[in-house]
Amino acid sequence: MARLIEPEELYARVGIQDNALNTVNQLVEDRIAGRLEEADRFLLLPDLLGFWLTGRAVAERTNASTTSLLDPVSGDWAWELIDRLGLPRRIFPPLIEPGEVVGTILTGPAAGLPLVAVGSHDTASAVVGTPLQGPDDAYLSSGTWSLIGMELDSPCSARHPGQPTSPTRSASTAPSATSRT
């Protein structure tokens, strides 16, 4: 994918380092291999489960932020990047917020009940649950990755003095996923 966009530019646009396992790389490889020609949508696992339960194909915003295809400033899909990578716009489902009703469960013992989206990106859910009180408070979230961060009023994806040219790892969540009122 580096021939389509430099890793530093990708980071500056979406706040996530280029990593072979990231969704953006998988989708570019799928496009090159012709696997997206007949695709109707792509759904991340939590959204696929919601689709199976409700029949509604959507993308929960905090998890969509992990794809490297979400604009952290607008909170929408990074359409300019998606077009540049040659990915078909038709596969990107509408975005929804945590707490929004995905749809009504269609079958089984819960049929007729609403399915509510959660902050399905684990770091987003962990950050919302931290007892941050002041503007200088930071969090450390450890699991598959260890991430340290702060809640900010807006995303910070620019390189700063002393920061490595290639970021070591970052997490991105939509601004609404980590803002507190």
Please indicate, yes or no, whether the overall pTM of this predicted structure exceeds 0.85: no
Whether 122 sits among the annotated catalytic residues: the reply is: yes
Residue the block writes with tokens 């021939």: 3
Catalytic residue among 18, 40, 83, 122: 122
Query: How confident is the model at residue 157, as a pLDDT?
Result: 64
pLDDT in tens, 26-68: 999 999 999 999 999 999 999 999 999 999 999 999 999 999 9
From the list 23, 5, 26, 9, the residue with the least C-alpha distance to 68 is 23
Please state the separation of Cα 45 from the chain's center in Å: 12
Q: Are strands 59-60 and 95-96 parallel, antiparallel or unpaired?
A: parallel
Question: Angle at Cα 167 formed by Cα 140 and Cα 67, nearest 5°?
Answer: 80
**Spatial separation of the C-alpha atoms in residues 22 and 67, rounded to whole Å:** 6
> Residues of the chain whose pLDDT is less than 70?
2, 157-181
